[in-house]
Amino acid sequence: MSGAADREAVFPTRQSLGLMKAKLKGAETGHSLLKRKSEALTKRFREITRRIDEAKRKMGRVMQIASLSLAEVTYAVGGNIGFQIQESARAARFRIRTKQENVSGVLLPTFESYLTEGNNDFAMTGLGKGGQQVQRCRDTYARAVEALVELASLQTAFVILDEVIKVVNRRVNAIEHVIIPRTENTIKYINSELDELDREEFYRLKKVAGKKLRDNAALDAEMKLKREEKAARELAEGQPEVQEDASGPSDLLAAEEDEDVIF
Amino acid sequence: MGMMSPRIPRFPVDAKYGVSYLEGIVRGYRNGLLTGANYTNLTQCETIDDLKLQLGPAYGDFLASLPPNPSTSSLAAKTTDKLVAEFRYVRANAVGSLAKFMDYLTYGYMIDNVALLITGTLHERDTRELLDRCHPLGWFETMPVLCVATNIEELYNSVLIETPLAPYFQGSLSHQDLDELNIEIVRNTLYKNYLEDFYQFVNSHPDMVGTPTAEVMSEILEFEADRRAINITLNSFGTELSKADRNKLYPTFGLLYPEGTLMLSRADDFEGVRLAVDGIADYKNFFEAAGLGGGSGPGNMAGGTGSDGKTLEDMFYQKEMEISKGAFTRQFTFAIVYAWVKLREQEIRNITWIAECIAQNQKERIGNYISVF
- Whole-complex ipTM: 0.78
When CB atoms are compared, the residue of A79, A127, A140 closest to B235 is A127
- Which of B231, B237, B269, B348 to mutate: most A Cβ within 10 Å? B231
In a domain, A161, yes or no: yes
- A-chain CB neighbours of B72 within 8 Å are 71
> How far from A75 is each of A78, B97, B249, B323, CA to CA, in Å?
5, 32, 23, 20
- Between chain A and chain B, the number of residue pairs with CB atoms below 8 A apart is 113
Are A130 and B357 inside 8 Å of each other by CB? no
| Residues of chain B contacting A124 with CB distance shorter than 8 Å | 182, 184-185, 235-236, 239, 241
Average of pLDDT values for A193-208? Answer: 91
Tell me the pLDDT tens digit for each residue of B154-211.
888 887 777 888 888 887 888 888 877 778 888 888 999 999 999 999 888 888 888 8
Q: Rounded distance, CA A249 to CA A237, Å? A: 27
- pLDDT higher than threshold 50 for residue B9: no
Residue B1 confidence (pLDDT) above 50 = no
Encoded amino acid at B178, one letter: L
Q: Is A25 within a domain?
A: yes
Cβ–Cβ below 8 Å for A83 and B76: no
Contact flag A88-B301 (C-beta cutoff 8 Å):
no
The pLDDT score that the predictor gives to residue A4 is: 52
Flag if A64 and B133 touch (Cβ within 8 Å).
Answer: no
Residues of A in contact with B125 (CB under 8 A): 87
Position A229 in a domain: no
How long is chain A? 263
Residue A239 lies in a domain: no
Does any domain span residue A203? no
* Chain B interface test: which of A73, A119, A127, A135 (most B C-beta within 10 Å): A127
**Residue A133 contacts B, CB cutoff 8 Å:** yes
Do the Cβ atoms of B299 and A132 come within 8 Å?
yes
Query: Mean pLDDT of all residues in chain A?
Result: 82
Q: Rg for chain A (alpha carbons), in Å? A: 45
| Residues on chain B touching A69 (C-beta within 8 angstroms) | 304
Q: Is residue A90 part of a domain?
A: yes
- C-alpha A138/C-alpha B267 separation (Å) is 24
State how far the Cα of B259 lies from the Cα of B206, in Å rounded to an integer.
30
Inter-chain CB proximity B72 and A71 less than 8 Å: yes
Q: What is the pLDDT of residue B17?
A: 42
Residue A98 counted as domain residue: yes
Q: In which element (H, E) is residue A213 found?
A: helix A180-236
CATH number of residue A155's parent domain: 1.10.287.3240
Average of per-residue pLDDT across A227-240: 75
Q: Which DSSP category does B333 fall into?
A: -
Which tens digits make up the pLDDT trace of A149-173?
989 999 998 999 899 999 999 999 9
Residue of chain B whose Cα is closest to the Cα of A75: B349
Please tell me if residue A149 touches chain B, with a CB cutoff of 8 Å.
no
B66-74 long-range Cβ contacts below 8 angstroms, 24+ apart: B71/B359, B72/A71, B72/B48, B72/B352, B72/B355, B72/B356, B72/B359, B73/A80, B73/B352
Q: Sorting pLDDT into bands at 50, 70 and 90, what band is A2?
A: very low
Question: Which residues of chain A are within 8 Å of residue B238 when distances are taken between CB atoms?
Answer: 120, 123
| Cis before A249? omega within 30 | no
Confidence of residue A1 (pLDDT cuts 50, 70, 90): very low
User: How confident is the model over A24-79, as pLDDT tens digits?
Assistant: 999 999 999 999 989 988 998 999 999 999 999 999 889 888 888 888 888 888 76
**Shortest Cα–Cα distance, A156 to chain B (Å):** 29
As beta bridge partners, residue A210 has: none
User: Which of A71-80, A191-200, A232-241 is predicted least confidently?
Assistant: A232-241
Element housing A108 (H / E): strand A106-115
Q: Does A113 touch chain B (CB under 8 A)?
A: no
Which residues on chain A are in Cβ contact (under 8 Å) with B123? 87
Structural domain count of chain A = 1
Q: Find all residues with CB under 8 Å of B325, minimum gap 6, and list them.
A: B339, B343, B372, B373
The reply to whether residue A83 touches residue B133, judged by beta carbons under 8 angstroms, is yes
Q: Give me the residues of A, 59-78, that contact B with CB < 8 A.
A: 64-69, 71-72, 74-76, 78
Domain range for A122: 12-188
Q: Could B313 and A83 be called an inter-chain contact, meaning their C-beta atoms sit closer than 8 Å?
A: no
The partner residue sitting opposite A79, judged by closest CB among B135, B362, B365, is: B135
Residue B350, pLDDT > 60, answer yes
A130 touching chain B per CB within 8 A:
yes
> For chain B, what percent of residues have pLDDT higher than 90?
15
pLDDT in tens, A113-155: 888 776 666 667 777 777 788 888 888 888 898 889 989 999 9
Q: For A177-186, A191-200, B3-12, B203-212, which range has the lowest pLDDT when averaged over its residues?
A: B3-12
Note the pTM of the prediction, 2 decimals: 0.76
Phi, psi of A103 (to 5 degrees): -115, 110
Contacts of A130 in chain B (CB under 8 A): 313
Q: Answer yes or no: are the C-beta atoms of A159 and A74 closer than 8 Å.
A: no
Query: How high does pLDDT run on average in chain B?
Result: 82
Q: Is there a contact between B238 and A80 if contact means CB atoms under 8 Å apart?
A: no
Closest-CA distance of chain A to residue B136, Å: 12
| A104 CA: distance to closest CA in chain B (Å) | 41
Give the chain B residue whose CA is nearest to the CA of A72.
B353
Q: How confident is the model at residue A252 (pLDDT cuts 50, 70, 90)?
A: low
Residue-level pLDDT at A263: 52
Best residue in A74, A115, A124 to probe B by mutation, most B CBs within 10 Å? A124
**Quick check: B360 and A64 CB within 8 A?**
yes
Partner-chain contact A83 B119, CB within 8 Å? yes
Q: What is the pLDDT of residues B291-346, one digit of tens each?
A: 754 444 444 443 433 445 678 888 888 999 999 999 899 888 888 899 999 999 99
Distance CA B367, CA B43 (A): 7
> Average pLDDT for residues B34-49, to the nearest whole number?
90
Contact assignment for A127 to B187 by CB distance below 8 Å: yes
Residue A128 within any structural domain of the chain: yes
Among chain A residues, CA nearest to B349: A75
When pLDDT is averaged across residues B268-276 and rounded to a whole number, the result is 85
pLDDT at A243: 54
pLDDT mean over B76-103: 89
Contact A87 B304 (CB under 8 A): no
Min distance B314 CA to chain A CA atoms (Å): 8
From the CA of A54, how many Å to the nearest CA of chain B? 19
pLDDT at position A120: 67
Report whether pLDDT(A239) > 80: no
